Amino acid sequence: MLDRLLKVGFVLLILRPLVFIWLGLNTVNRQSLPTRGPAIIAANHNSHLDVMVLLALFPLRDLHRGRPVAAADYFLSNRYIAWFSTHVLNIIPLDRNVDRHNSAELLTQCHKALDEDEILIIFPEGSRGRPEVMGRIKKGVYRLVQERSNCPVYPVVMRGLGRALPRGTARLVPFNVDVVIGEGLSGFEDPEAYLQRMRAAYAALTKLCITSSCVDRERNG
């Protein structure tokens, strides 16, 4: 309960002013964002702030259902960040040096969250990759939903955070951020169908972005 209050307080007092005033969102289709699980939000990954922007969009009373699946090597990197990530953000840690054992552990945790009607926030590209460039989509999400009939996957495309806070800097420069939310997808026949439909959805959503990408991405990639 205390953790839930912490999360609401953090989002209301720090995250929302930061995201809506210092940055600024061009949100499309906000009403599609799921507020009740089981559901998965599958967003592209540009910056560590991706998670923060998505959390800022949640209605406060549904906030506790949002569970970011976030990289352990960053979000658990030291004691303070780890406390913040587990108690305030309530993340499900993802170990990127996957072996069979911790991969099974991650799946268990994700399934448990979905069983409790929570909403997973996942970045199917894995790492942040080059700013504003969609990387290769991985199949982890498919493994999560293949045996669930009632768990839609919501593709979300974000653009602008790669400019506001690119890799390796701490200076957050104000830029508007596009957040384009797609309709929930479900009923994938096989991993290939999943990949195809997600790629098509990302391509369609990207067309609705209005902020510009960096002109020199080939040099800063």
Partner 1 sequence: MILGLPPHAAALMGTVISTLIVASISCRALALKRPDRDYTELKLRTLSWWWMIGLFFLVLLLPEPFTLVFIAFLSFMALKEFFSIVPMRLVDRRAIFWAYLAIPVQYFWLGMDWYGMFIIFIPVYVFLFIPMVMIIIGDTRGFIYSAGIIHWGVMLTVFCVSHLAALYLMPTTNTQAGGVGALLFLLVMTQFNDVCQYVVGKTLGSRKIVPKVSPNKTWAGFLGGVSIITLLAAAAGPYLTVLSLWESAVAGLIISIAGFTGDLVISAIKRDLQIKDTGRLIPGHGGILDRMDSLIFTAPLFFHYLHYLYGWAGNA
28 contacts partner 1 (rule: CB under 8 A): yes
CA distances from 174 to 91, 121, 161, 177 (A): 26, 24, 9, 9
Ramachandran angles phi, psi of 71, nearest 5°: -60, 125
182 contacts partner 1 (rule: CB under 8 A): no
| Contacting residue, 163, 181, 188, 205, with partner 1 by CB under 8 A | 163
CA distances from 11 to 44, 68, 173 (A): 21, 14, 20
220 contacts partner 1 (rule: CB under 8 A): yes
| Contacting residue, 127, 150, 169, 196, with partner 1 by CB under 8 A | 169
- Smallest gap from Cβ 206 to partner 1, in A, equals 13
170 contacts partner 1 (rule: CB under 8 A): no
Q: Is 146 helix (H, G, I), strand (E, B) or coil?
A: coil
Residue with smaller CB distance to partner 1, 8 or 18: 18
d(CA 168, CA 29): 31
**Beta-carbon contacts of residue 129 (< 8 Å; ≥ 6 apart):** 45, 135
131 contacts partner 1 (rule: CB under 8 A): yes
| Contacting residue, 61, 79, 101, 171, with partner 1 by CB under 8 A | 171
129 contacts partner 1 (rule: CB under 8 A): no
Contact (Cβ atoms closer than 8 angstroms) between residue 153 and residue 40: yes
Rule CB under 8 A: which residues touch partner 1?
Answer: 24-28, 131, 160, 163, 166, 169, 171, 173-176, 210-217, 220
